[in-house]
Structure 1
């Protein structure tokens, strides 16, 4: 009878795993797992939101879905405008769709930033320039959102009752907190030499990238046009959902409420703003003159259309892009 030798741990060469860990396959499935976890955690919100969608006027909801789709086009335009080199258009658009899902699964901004940073480096841009382009995009998007809000508030100063948004006596502590953060950051840069050198090097790269982009009118137009179109389209989604559910607030006042709410929660580190955005939007719509019950229904339906419906296909797209090594 012939003895059969079974390999043991001593037969495996040192420094080498017996089987290769399927990292890329795991990364492909991770977004779907996160979608399932988030959906289970917010199942009550999903049920209420879908219930309200069933009572809405469908032509307005269709317009809201179309405006939501256009937000990914606006994001792609802004991303392209932040770099001089031409990026592959279809892959860029698919990346924005996938980045939207990643943004709702990770703390605000981190998911989309990580996906787009990886996409640009795969396209051949050095990491320093990709990071500079990412910073330029975030700056342009912030300026575009604040510009729209300021313009609408100047045109319609009665759109929001700010006293209901900011509790009495809260402005002083908020300003003191912001000043303290700026002071701590400045002291840290002065004291830590290595950090100061890194920041200065990054700022030089970012300023050089910004100058290069603005020497090409097509890139500058894509950057600033997209940064204005993106929040305008998001506000349009809220307006159309409000019309679908009969919210008695003028459309432009709803747009002001949306912009004010999203600016207010920009620093809240929750995945995709889940929870904080809903609360801020309800408060803003009530401050704009809407009944609390209808405002809550509008916000739930709005988040279903902009967050939950695209989440699963966005996660599938993200997994496919990882598998095909696009990101």
Structure 2
């Protein structure tokens, strides 16, 4: 009530600590949108200018594949969970998780959002962590299987992408090359630091768990894997993610007039994303962009078209959904869904 009185006449604070925390979380999300957009303003502007002349029908296909990508992620999470939440609510949670992934490195933000959602559903911390871990493991396994398949199908093309990457889109030498090299060094150091800290936290977490809770969580995960429908949802949703990313990049390339084969785009994306996943950058921003431009140029795409295509790919999959997904995350926090 407005005067701060509840129904039994006891005065309570109008602004509870939880309300303040949710408000601060919403403000932080809005600030993150502004910071990310400002930091990558040249890329956003350039990509927007290039997409003005692109084929709209292909861009609609790319946008539709982005929506299907979120649906596939929802299906994969349904397969990894020992319970069955409402599909629509879980889908909205994936929208909020996608924003968190662009703020925190290596998918940690999305994992945290999904764990909070599962905890709200009544799952234990161990069961929620196990479900998130199972989903991540399925994504890793399916990506590796897809990588092996495309490399086996085109070994010569895969070999050509790896040893020499010509940075024609960024200049063969000079400050750009120096910046890229420095970014690579710092990225590797950051990856090692992040990996060591995460292993330490995981070790402390394992020591704190009791044997009974661990056995119960393992039984729940084993039951999930033995369920045919959940297994199909988990593996099907996981393998769909890299395929849909490939469709998005292919559609953007087609919209700009480049007729590169779909198989080549699949090879480029799977190889580059597997390598860049080792760098824990927020949303793999930076390392994936530069590597995709270089790989597309090596595969025969003109450097300017490769750069515009990657910018368009980023606009559709990351920058344009950024503000809507941030708003979704704020609503989820305010309604205590997560």
Normalised by the size of structure 1, how large is the TM-score? 0.82
Larger Rg: 1
Aligned length: 294
SS in structure 1 at match of 2:156: coil
Whole-angstrom distance in 2 between the partners of 1:84 and 1:150 = 30
Q: Structure 1 pair 299/196, CA: closer, same or farther in 2 (3 Å)?
A: same
Moved more, 305-314 or 256-265: 256-265
Within 2, Cα distance between the matches of 1:283 and 1:113? 30
- The structural deviation recorded for 1:108 is 2.4
- The CA deviation at 1:196 is 6.4
Distance 1:206 1:46 in 2: 44
CA 1:206–1:263 in 2, change beyond 3 Å: closer, same or farther?
farther
1:43 aligns with 2:54: no
Cα distance change, pair 41–84 in 1 and its aligned pair in 2 (3 A): same
Kept in 1, the 8 Å contact 2:126–2:214? The answer is no
What aligned pairs does 1:1-327 form with structure 2 within 5 A after superposition? 20-21=16-17, 22-160=20-158, 161=160, 162-165=162-165, 197=207, 207-327=218-338
Following TM superposition, by how much is the alpha carbon of 1:273 offset from its aligned partner in structure 2, in angstroms? 1.2
Q: CA separation in 2, counterparts of 1:216 and 1:19? A: 46
Render the CA deviation track for 1:147-178: whole Å, top value 9, x for unaligned.
11211221222333122259xxxxxxxxxx9x
TM-score between the two structures when normalised by the length of structure 2:
0.80
Q: Structure 2: where are the runs of 5+ without partners? A: 1-12, 167-187
Q: How well do the aligned residues superpose, as a CA RMSD in angstroms?
A: 2.8
Q: Deviations over 1:127-146 (max 9, x none)?
A: 10000011100000111112
Secondary structure of 1:246's counterpart equals coil
SS in 2 for 1:302: helix
- Distance in 2 between the 1:60 and 1:18 partners? 51
Write out per-residue CA displacement over residues 221-280 of structure 1, whole angstroms, 9 at most, x where no aligned residue.
000000111111111111111111123421110111011111111121211111111011
CA distance in 2 between counterparts of 1:269 and 1:20 reads: 36
Paired residues of 1:68 and 1:237 also in contact (CA < 8 A): yes
Bigger mean CA offset, 311-320 vs 251-260 = 251-260
| SS of residue matched to 2:155 | coil
Q: Cα–Cα, structure 1 residues 193 and 94, in superposed 2: closer, same or farther, change >3 Å?
A: closer
Displacement over 6 Å in runs of 4+: 192-196
Are the structure 2 counterparts of residues 130 and 164 from structure 1 closer, same or farther at C-alpha, using a change threshold of 3 Å? Answer: same
